[in-house]
């Protein structure tokens, strides 16, 4: 009789890795479908749920299975290397930490049907809300609700008050209570479904509102990891996956056919070899800094400490640097690839558009360099919501 291979945890890990690889294979077949319809289909998001991505940040007391940030980020990077849009949508699995400041009774209701909750956020522009006996009556239109077509809960932004120190509130609404306006028409991250959300006199109970980055009531290590910082990292790492796809394409194509002009293959040209090698080194260096900062912060928390302001500055700085570096890597690959890359249907064109988007996010803007530098020099950060 054949003996089973490995221990039960080893078999479970193998099965999980196999399921992840099978998901990536399906994604490679369906990414064009997602780009054309401009959102990731709900059935595929359900498959991501099955891989644990949407319970990785759910509180363990509500059935969550905590995934260390670096582990989660590596999974998002792998997905993004196949399709940046799907990586972007999957990255929102980390953002349930935003909801850690909700009353525990509200969180119990949120996770009543299970720990796999798909969260979509459309916080801005902040829209007016009328106070009621129960909470707030909200109306307005909010932008950039990435992943809303498959969301279980959607966050929209309303003004804060004295109790929030002026910070805006996030109000949680069910998808069936709002209208999704499919207006997403962009050159990059086309499949994220970052549509507008429209509400008309929807009443939200006060206990279903929260302050983004507010003090959590959940006492678990992941909920002591800076929430806004984790969101920034989750979006940044998408760009690293896109850059990896561009470099893999460059190495594959470089060894292919020669130029139509009779010139040598790309891989036989010194400038191409040197340029791709340099881009490879630059990307790997930025990734090393990024993951080093994430691992260091997590180990501090696991040991019972708190993430310091300096550690948080490195988390924010490495995330902004990775997004910008990854975009530069994709641009470098395109510039080295000759006239083939100028055609609209060339694979690098989709990657070029996808690489543009993460660095444009407010969490990853050039302002993060100044803010991080200020903290590293013992001064307050120069931007709000830095931690």
Per-residue pLDDT tens for 192-201?
999 999 999 9
pLDDT band at 164 (very low <50, low <70, confident <90, very high): confident
pLDDT above 70: percentage of residues in the chain: 97
Per-residue model confidence (pLDDT) at position 258: 55
**Assigned domain for 383 exists:** no
Per-residue model confidence (pLDDT) at position 9: 72
Give dist(CA 146, CA 98) in Å, integer.
16
Per-residue pLDDT tens for 327-344?
999 999 999 998 889 998
**Assigned domain for 4 exists:** no
- For residues 245-259, average pLDDT: 83
Q: In terms of domains, do 324 and 239 share one?
A: yes
Using alpha carbons, select from 205, 213, 247, 218 the residue that is nearest to residue 332.
247
Q: Write down which residue in 53, 69, 101 finishes a domain.
A: 101
Per-residue pLDDT tens for 144-156?
999 999 999 999 9
Q: For the purposes of burial, counting CB atoms within 10 Å of the CB of 274, is it exposed (0-12), middle (13-18) or buried (19 or more)?
A: exposed
Q: In terms of domains, do 152 and 178 share one?
A: yes
Q: Write down which residue in 189, 211, 233 finishes a domain.
A: 211
Q: Which domain holds residue 69?
A: 11-101
Q: In terms of domains, do 371 and 232 share one?
A: yes
**How many alpha carbons lie under 13 Å from residue 154 in its C-beta half-sphere?**
29
Give dist(CA 325, CA 242) in Å, integer.
11
Q: Is pLDDT at 234 greater than 60 in this prediction?
A: yes
CB neighbour list of residue 62: distance below 8 Å, 6 or more residues apart: 107, 108, 110, 111, 115
Give dist(CA 217, CA 119) in Å, integer.
19
Enter the pTM of the model.
Answer: 0.94
**Assigned domain for 309 exists:** yes
pLDDT band at 5 (very low <50, low <70, confident <90, very high): low
Count of domains for the chain: 3
The whole-angstrom distance between residue 287's C-alpha and the CA centroid of its chain comes to: 15
Higher pLDDT residue, 90 or 215? 90
Residue 316 maps to which CATH number?
A: 1.20.140.10
Per-residue model confidence (pLDDT) at position 30: 98
Q: In terms of domains, do 56 and 166 share one?
A: no
**Assigned domain for 200 exists:** yes
Beta strand 169-173 with 179-181 is unpaired
| Residue 139: other Cβ atoms inside 10 A | 13
How would you label 99-132 residue by residue, b for 16+ Cβ within 10 Å and e otherwise? bbbbeeebbeebbeeebbbbbbbbbeeebebeee
For the chain, what is the mean pLDDT? 94
> Contact at 8 Å (CB) between 128 and 140?
yes
Q: Measure the N-to-C terminal CA separation of the chain; round to a whole number of Å.
A: 57
Q: Is pLDDT at 12 greater than 80 in this prediction?
A: no
Q: Write down which residue in 101, 128, 150 finishes a domain.
A: 101
- For residues 132-137, average pLDDT: 97
Q: Is pLDDT at 63 greater than 50 in this prediction?
A: yes
Per-residue pLDDT tens for 285-325?
999 999 999 999 999 999 999 999 999 999 999 999 999 99
Higher pLDDT residue, 199 or 263? 199
**Assigned domain for 5 exists:** no
Per-residue model confidence (pLDDT) at position 73: 98
């Amino acid at each position: 009789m054949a003996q089973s291979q490995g221990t039960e945890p080893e078999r479970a890990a193998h099965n999980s890795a196999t399921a992840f690889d099978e998901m990536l294979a399906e994604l490679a077949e369906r990414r064009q479908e997602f780009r054309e319809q401009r959102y990731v289909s709900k059935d595929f998001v359900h498959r991501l749920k099955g891989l644990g991505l949407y319970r990785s940040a759910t509180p363990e007391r509500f059935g969550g299975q905590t995934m260390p940030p670096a582990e989660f980020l590596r999974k998002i990077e792998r997905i993004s290397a196949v399709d940046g849009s799907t990586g972007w949508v999957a990255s929102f699995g980390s953002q349930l930490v935003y909801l850690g400041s909700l009353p525990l009774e509200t969180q119990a209701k949120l996770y009543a049907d299970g720990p796999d909750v798909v969260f979509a956020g459309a916080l801005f522009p902040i829209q007016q809300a009328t106070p009621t006996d129960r909470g707030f009556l909200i109306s307005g239109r909010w932008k950039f609700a990435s992943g809303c077509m498959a969301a279980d809960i959607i966050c929209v932004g309303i003004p804060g008050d004295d109790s929030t120190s002026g910070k805006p509130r996030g109000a949680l609404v069910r998808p069936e209570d709002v209208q999704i306006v499919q207006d997403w028409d962009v050159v990059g991250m086309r499949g994220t479904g970052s549509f507008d959300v429209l509400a008309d006199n929807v009443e939200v109970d006060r206990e279903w509102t929260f302050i983004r980055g507010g003090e959590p009531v959940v006492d678990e290590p992941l909920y002591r990891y800076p929430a806004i910082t984790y969101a920034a990292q989750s979006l940044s790492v998408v760009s690293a996956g896109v850059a990896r796809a561009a470099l893999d394409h460059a190495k594959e194509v470089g060894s292919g056919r020669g130029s139509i002009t009779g010139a040598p293959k790309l891989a036989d040209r010194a400038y191409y070899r040197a340029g791709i090698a340099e881009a490879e080194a630059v990307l790997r260096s930025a990734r090393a800094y990024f993951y080093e900062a994430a691992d260091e912060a997590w180990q501090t928390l696991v040991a019972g400490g708190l993430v310091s302001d300096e550690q948080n500055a490195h988390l924010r700085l490495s995330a902004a640097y990775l997004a910008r570096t990854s975009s530069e890597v994709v641009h470098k690959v395109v510039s080295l690839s000759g006239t083939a890359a100028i055609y609209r249907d060339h694979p690098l064109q989709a990657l070029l558009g996808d690489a543009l988007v993460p660095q444009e996010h407010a969490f990853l803007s050039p302002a993060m360099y100044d803010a991080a530098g200020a903290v590293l020099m013992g001064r307050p950060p120069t931007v709000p919501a830095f931690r």
